Amino acid sequence: MKFGEKLQKLRKQRGLSQEQLAAQLTVSRQAVSRWELDDTMPDTENVIQLSRLFGVSCDYLLRDEVNEQGAPLPTLEPPLPTLEPPLSAPVSPRPTPGEAHLTEQGWIHNAFILSLGVCALGLVGAFMFYRFQGHTVRPLAIGFMIQLLGAILFELATPRMGGRRNTARLSFYATACWLVLPIPVLLSLNWGFNLGYWNGTPLQGLICYFSVYQLLSAAVTAALLLLRQRICAKR
């Protein structure tokens, strides 16, 4: 049997007219008529639709020597939806180097550098002008005020240091005392010399000044670091 004969036989078995079959295949009635007369052959898509519609194999429709209907093509089922992998928990980005000052450690680091820099500037400026202006007290007083400004800047930053503010404060003053104490020690010794409490030579006075400065600075540093160690031990 040829294709046209098989198609006509299957159509009539289903009780379909050419118009009804054409409507189901979305083709014209003339196309179905030409298929049954073997004037033309349907395209691949129409052959597949006929195979599923009549429950026969494509081989049965297309090959004249095959007279058994065979199994139809399986009905296409919609593909199962692909499961998307679960979204992982958002990871907090690490702070970039430009944002390091926003952390507690960053505030401590920046406050140390800025405040110690101001204290060092006050010390250098005070002694330079003290020498060039005839050893007057005024440049020492101005330099000491600049150093106090450095300490104030550090105190303004302590609220951003969180729970480390106390230990950071002790560490800062243990370091800053070596920059701050030279001026008050010198002022104190000058005041004592002016009152006549010193009868030694200038060299002996210089040795006395450095001895007092180093002993006082070391004592203040040791006391502050010991207090810091006790605070850290309580945590």
- pLDDT attached to residue 145: 94
**Residue scoring higher pLDDT (210 or 82):** 210
Would you say residue 8 lies in a domain?
A: yes
Residue 92 forms part of a structural domain: no
Per-residue pLDDT at 224: 93
Q: Please provide residue 72's backbone torsions phi and psi, each rounded to the nearest 5 degrees.
A: -75, 170
The answer as to whether 95 is a domain residue is no
Q: Tell me: do 191 and 116 sit in the same domain.
A: yes
In a domain, 69, yes or no: no
pLDDT for 155-207, tens place per residue? 999 998 888 889 999 999 999 999 999 999 988 887 776 655 666 677 877 88
In a domain, 203, yes or no: yes
pLDDT in tens, 103-124: 888 889 999 999 999 999 999 9
The whole-chain average pLDDT of the chain stands at: 82
Is 67 inside any structural domain?
no
User: What amino acid occupies position 66?
Assistant: V
- What Cα–Cα distance (Å) separates residue 177 from each residue in 144, 214, 222? 12, 10, 11
4-18, 21-35, 45-59, 79-93: which has the minimum mean pLDDT? 79-93
For residue 101, the model assigns a pLDDT of: 47
Range of the domain at 192: 103-234
Looking at the structure of the chain, the number of domains it has is 2
CB within 8 Å of 106: residues ≥ 6 apart = 100
Q: Is 233 exposed, middle or buried (0-12, 13-18, 19+ CB in 10 A)?
A: exposed
Q: What is the CATH number of the domain that holds 49?
A: 1.10.260.40
**Residue 69 in contact with residue 57, Cβ under 8 Å?**
yes
* pLDDT recorded at residue 170: 93
Same domain, 116 and 201: yes
The number of residues in the chain equals 235
Query: 32 in the Ramachandran plot: left (φ > 0), alpha (ψ -120 to 50) or beta?
Result: alpha
> Are residues 50 and 69 in contact, defined by beta-carbon separation less than 8 angstroms?
no
Residues 44 and 125 in one domain: no
58 and 127 co-located in one domain: no
Burial call 124-144: b when 16+ CB within 10 Å, e when fewer:
eebbeebeeeeeeeebbeebb
What's the CA gap between 15 and 78, in Å, rounded? 30
The yes-or-no verdict on residue 91 having pLDDT over 60 is no
Q: Are 29 and 22 in contact (CB under 8 A)?
A: yes
**pLDDT, position 168:** 92
53-63 residue pLDDT tens: 888 888 888 88
Q: Assess whether 190 and 115 both reside in one domain.
A: yes
pLDDT tens for each residue of 23-33: 988 899 999 99
pLDDT, tens only, 123-140: 999 888 877 766 778 888
What is the predicted pLDDT for the residue at 134?
67
Dist CA 221 CA 224 (whole Å): 5
- What percent of the chain shows pLDDT beyond 90? 33
